[in-house]
Copies of this chain bind each other. A is one copy, B any other.
C-alpha cells in the first residue's frame, strides 16, 4: 500500500541511518526537535530587543515571495524549519512580546502559559462535552471559579451558584456574541430559536464600545438601525441620562430594549462606563447587561484596583482576558454569566451522536452549549500553569509596575508643553497628542513606527487624532518607556 517516499536526504536531528519510507516524525525526533524548539523560543524571547518592533521595510507579499509557491514533494528536516523561522518568520512578524511594543493592547505569553499550551496540544483531547474528556471541563470550571475569587467578582457568576457559571471563550468578540445571543433568547422567551424574529429588539452601546459589539449584533440579526449609540461624557463614559431617554423613546415606539454593553476600560482610552447606574436602568427595563472588561478587568487581581469591578453585582454577563494583561497566551477570554439558562437556551443543540447519560442527568457541564463552536481544546491548562508556576503575586507586581510607569510617563508628558494628555489614565494606557494638531500627531506616530524602535497605534478621541501609549508587556521596564518617550520627543521637533 505504501508508495515510495522521496524523503529529504539531509540530516534529520536525532536520525540514525536511512529512514523508513513515509514515516512521520518519530518519537525520538520529536524529543530532539522539541528541545531545540524550546531553546529557540527561549533565545527568541530573551533576545527580542535585538529585533525592531516592526520591520519597517517589509512590503505586502514579501513573506510569501520568500517561501516556495508550491508544497514540497519531499519531507524536510526540522532544522530547515528552524532556519525558516529565523530567516522568514522573525523578520516578518510584529513582535508583540517586545518590551517596546506599546500598540493595541498587551498580549503577553508567559513561559508558564506557553507550556500549558504545549500540554494541551500534546494531550490532543476534545472538551466539547464533559464525557469527551471530563478533566478538560472540570479543570476549566475550577479555573473560572478560582478567577472569580482572585478577581473578587460577584458570587453569582460562580459555577456552584444557583444560576451562573463561567467558560473560556476564544476572545472577547466571542464572549460578546454569546452574551448577545443569550440576551436575544431571554428577551423573546426563546421564540427567536423558532422564528428568528429580532425585528423589535434594540441594543445600546457607546461610540467608545469595541467594534465587536456591532459585529456581534450584526451576526445575531440586529442591524445597525437597531443599535443605539449612547453619547459619552467628557471622559468618554456612557451618559446614563441619555441611555434612559433613548430606552424610553424606543419603548414608546413599540421596540424592546434587550441588550446593553457597558465597558470597563475602553479600547481607545480606558474609559469606564457607570455600570451600577446602567444596571439599574437595564433592570427596570428587563434588558441584559453585558460588561466588557477585556483589557482592564485583569487589574482586579491587585486589590487596590478592584474598583474596576464596580457595578458588576447586577450585570448579566462579564468578560475579561487573561490573554491580554495576565500573561496567558492567546486565546483565553473568561466569560461569566449570572443566567446560564439563557445561554444554554440560545446555544444548545443535541443530536444523537452527542448524547450522553452524564449530560442528560444534568450532573455535568457540556461547554459546547456555552459557545459558538462545537470543538474546544484544553485551554484551561495555560491558566492553571500560570497561576501555579508564575503565581498571582508576580502578576500583581507586573500590573502595579505598568500602572506606575504610566503615571510616570504622564508626568513627563505634562512637562513637555508640545504635548497634551487627552483622557483620564487610570491604569496602563496614556492617550496623548501634539497640540499642533491632527496632522502633526498622525505624522509623529507614523515616523516613530518607521524607526522600528517602538510601536504605537492611533485612535480618534473627540475628533482628534490620538497616540495610544499602552504599557503592558511583561518585559517592559522604565528604561523602555523612557526611551520611547524620548524618541517621541525627538521626532516631534
Number of residues in A with C-beta < 8 Å to the partner?
164
Contacts of A94 in B (CB 8 A): 125-126, 131-134
Choice from B192, B373, B460 contacting A173 with Cβ under 8 Å: B373
Tell whether, in the assembled complex, residue B133 and residue A122 are in contact, meaning their CB atoms are under 8 Å apart: no
Within 8 A of B (CB), among A307-342: 323, 327, 329-331
Contacts of A285 in B (CB 8 A): none
Stretch among A210-218, A229-237, A243-251 lining the B interface: A210-218
Choice from B107, B118, B388 contacting A76 with Cβ under 8 Å: B388
Bitwise, A181-217 to B at CB < 8 A (1) or not (0) is: 1000000000011111111000000000011101100
**In the complex, A391 has a CB within 8 A of chain B:** yes
Bitwise, A348-377 to B at CB < 8 A (1) or not (0) is: 011111110010000110000000111101
User: Which residue of chain B has the shortest Cβ distance to A398 in the bound complex?
Assistant: B24
Interface centre among A7, A111, A363 (most CB of B within 10 A): A111
User: Which residue of chain B has the shortest Cβ distance to A457 in the bound complex?
Assistant: B353
Report the minimum CB–CB distance from A59 to chain B (whole Å): 8
Tell whether, in the assembled complex, residue A391 and residue B7 are in contact, meaning their CB atoms are under 8 Å apart: yes
**In the complex, A390 has a CB within 8 A of chain B:** yes
Within 8 A of B (CB), among A138-172: 138-139, 141-142, 146, 149-150, 170-172
**In the complex, A396 has a CB within 8 A of chain B:** yes
Q: How far is the CA of A388 from the CA of B133 in the complex (A)?
A: 31
Q: How far is the CA of A219 from the CA of B174 in the complex (A)?
A: 12
Stretch among A30-38, A252-260, A273-281, A483-491 lining the B interface: A30-38
Bitwise, A110-130 to B at CB < 8 A (1) or not (0) is: 111111011111111110001
Contacts of A139 in B (CB 8 A): 63-64, 67, 89
